[in-house]
Structure 1
Amino acid sequence: MAIELTTNNFRDFVSRNDIVLVDFWAPWCSPCLLIAPIIEELEKEMPDVRFAKVNVDENQEIASMFGIMSIPTLMIFKGGETVDMVIGVIAKDALKERLLRHM
């Protein structure tokens, strides 16, 4: 299950884990609901990757810090630094390939 990140735990979580995929989403966002099951499947298949979510409505400061203008936005962090970003819905295999690229 993806960890819910807030301004209180975001920096600590992404910096303490090697590879992290953060899903910037909102409950009213239809494309966000489409990508959620893809992320859940990858979470089961890729135990070395940590998965997290940021509700942009509740955590506008984090969304603003990264310039999130459209959701879903998926950001991949490695060692606390952003290494990749996907805006919109992406196929499972394509997202998995992007994650593997950074492992």
Structure 2
Amino acid sequence: MAITNYNAATYEEIINEGFTIVDFYGEKCGPCEYLSDVLDELIFEMPFLDIIKVNTTVEHDMAEKHNIRGVPMVHFYKDGKLVQDQVGSMTLPQIKEIISNIMY
């Protein structure tokens, strides 16, 4: 379990099992960079998580498919189902609270 960049061949497989966080971000986005640092810290504390990063500046089709209108946008999946989304940057405690509410 780790942070991986979007890969069309493995995306569906990863989100279909267990708990997955998908970070939709843009290049040259300050809040996106902050959130990236928070997710790095999160994976250090919770290495069992899967996190997928999707660069919406490059992956236009993926952003359109998921109706991404602003970044950062974070999707929380459990067993292939989108259970929550959050637009805007978040702190580590905020993300942990969302994870706790979904998993427990």
TM-score computed with the length of structure 2 as normaliser: 0.89
Q: Assess if the C-alpha contact under 8 Å between 1:72 and 1:87 holds in 2.
A: yes
Deviations for 1:24-51, whole angstroms, at most 9, x for unmatched residues? 0122111101111111111111123211
* Alignment partners' CA distance in 2, 1:14 and 1:45: 20
Deviations for 1:54-88, whole angstroms, at most 9, x for unmatched residues? 01122111111111000000110000110111100
2:33 counterpart of 1:13: no
Quote the offset at 1:6 in angstroms: 3.0
Structure 1 stretches of at least 4 aligned residues deviating more than 6 Å after TM superposition:
none
**Match in the other structure for 1:44:** 44
* Alignment partners' CA distance in 2, 1:42 and 1:98: 12
Q: How does 1:1-103 map to 2 (within 5 A)?
A: 1-15=2-16, 17-103=17-103
* Alignment partners' CA distance in 1, 2:30 and 2:12: 27
SS at match of 2:53: strand
Q: What RMSD, in angstroms, separates the aligned Cα atoms of the two structures? A: 1.3
* Alignment partners' CA distance in 2, 1:94 and 1:101: 11
Unaligned runs of 5+ in 1: none
Q: Assess if the C-alpha contact under 8 Å between 1:21 and 1:52 holds in 2.
A: yes
Unaligned runs of 5+ in 2: none
